[in-house]
Amino acid sequence: MKLFESITIKNLKSKNRIIMSPMAMYSAKNGLPNDFHFVHYGSRAIGGAGIIILEATAVEKIGRITPNDLCLYNLRQMRALSRIAKFIKDSGALAGIQLAHAGRKAGTYVPWEGLGKIPLEKGGWIPVAPSLIPYVNDWIKPSELSENGIKNIENKFINSAILAYNAGFQIIEIHAAHGYLIHEFLSPLTNKRNDKYGGKLENRSRFLLEIIEGIREKIPNDAALFVRISGVDFADGGWGIDDTIYLAKEMKSYGVDLIDCSSGGIIPDIKLPEIEGYNVFISEAIKKNENILTSVVGYIFNDKFANKLIEENKTDMVTLGRVLLRDPYWPIRKGFYNGYKFYPVQYERAFNVPRGLYG
């Protein structure tokens, strides 16, 4: 099965076509990872996924979704994350990290502790955005970024990318999806600016492309650069598939190696399609129009379905989220049934049994 075959991205070889999706755990303290993160990511690395991408990691303190988000903007955070990167690589996977800024969606409660924005008097903060439009009407109105403020955040992304590379991460993913800051610049629903960062598509794409350009100038060429996008907003007047095709071409020219295809998140109450692989059409459209690697996320639970997507050239890889939360060893199990060995040598005796007896 092609799903379980290796793929080379730049000079990096992933042992299979499975990416662990970056999924926020909301479990950091002062932006630092702890034993939970080490075991969480280490288990999935042992579990056989070819690429492990750490959750949305804020490039500055006010860019956190919640107070419990991972951060990467100083040396202490870099050193703490380097232990996880090393273990992922020692386990035979490629180590990636997603760099993010939550924009107007920053400063919310941890999901299991409450809903919505944390009030200023309880430790919340005023978020930043391209325009003065809150995510929800009764949320704190964001501060509109000046051009100097935009450049400052671009430099924070670049600084975090340098720290990520020095921590040992081989893949850096820019989070430009799900209604967070970069997506807010891309979408006409949230970007109402009339300067060079607003208005026409080229201007709304400028913030992301300048971040990509800056990272590519500062990070050695042996690192791979991914971008996660919301390929469509699923909202009238929002970002659409033609915009994504344009952006894919631009991102490739700026040095992006893979586009991680997702969707939605720009405004509340969007109902996403409840069908298997509902984002596949985004990846397929990109691949029909541009020669660039893609991965796709969204209700992919079945190995045969995932393999079919790759075989039919609708995507090059699959990004798995919920399935790997439920079962860290899904790649080992599915690979074993299909004749592939992704388990570590320490587990050899568990698989050295007649295949028909393995349960």
**What pTM did the predictor assign?**
0.97
Concatenate the DSSP letters of all residues of 16-63 into one string: SSEEEPP------BTTB--HHHHHHHHHHHHTT-SEEEEEEEESSGGG
The whole domain housing 187 covers: 2-357
Chain centroid to CA 71: how far?
14
How far, in Å, CA of 111 to CA of 58, rounded? 17
Query: Is 319 within 8 Å of 295 (Cβ atoms)?
Result: yes
Q: Which tokens hold the place of 193?
A: 């600016």
Q: How far apart are CA 162 and CA 334, in angstroms?
A: 36
The pLDDT assigned to 353 comes to 75
Q: What is the DSSP letter of 54?
A: E
Tally of domains in the chain = 1
The confidence score (pLDDT) of residue 359 equals 53
What pLDDT score was predicted for residue 355? 63
Catalytic positions: 180
CATH number at residue 332: 3.20.20.70
Query: How far is CA 300 from each of CA 78, 229, 321, rounded to the nearest angstrom?
Result: 32, 17, 8
Tens of each residue's pLDDT in the chain, 359 residues: 999 999 999 999 999 999 999 999 999 999 999 999 999 999 999 999 999 999 999 999 999 999 999 999 999 999 999 999 999 999 999 999 999 999 999 999 999 999 899 999 999 999 999 999 999 999 999 999 999 999 999 999 999 999 999 999 999 999 999 999 999 999 999 999 999 999 999 999 999 999 999 999 999 999 999 999 999 999 999 999 999 999 999 999 999 999 999 999 999 999 899 999 999 999 999 999 999 999 999 999 999 999 999 999 999 999 999 999 999 999 999 999 999 999 999 999 988 877 666 55
Residue type, 56: A
pLDDT for 357: 64
At 112 the three-state DSSP class reads coil
Task: Please state, in angstroms and rounded to a whole number, the distance separating the CA atoms of residues 153 and 351.
Answer: 49
What's the rounded Cα separation, in Å, for the pair 205 and 272? 24
Q: How far apart are the first and last CA of the chain?
A: 21
The label of the residue with tokens 């180590």 reads: 95
Residue with tokens 């720290």: 163
> Which residues fall within 8 angstroms of residue 236, CB to CB, at 6 or more apart?
none
pLDDT at 352: 86
- How many angstroms separate the CA atoms of 215 and 173, rounded? 11
- Are 149 and 142 in contact by the 8 Å Cβ rule? The answer is no
Helix residue spans in the chain (DSSP H)? 35-46, 75-90, 147-167, 181-186, 201-204, 206-218, 241-254, 280-289, 303-311, 322-326, 330-337, 348-351
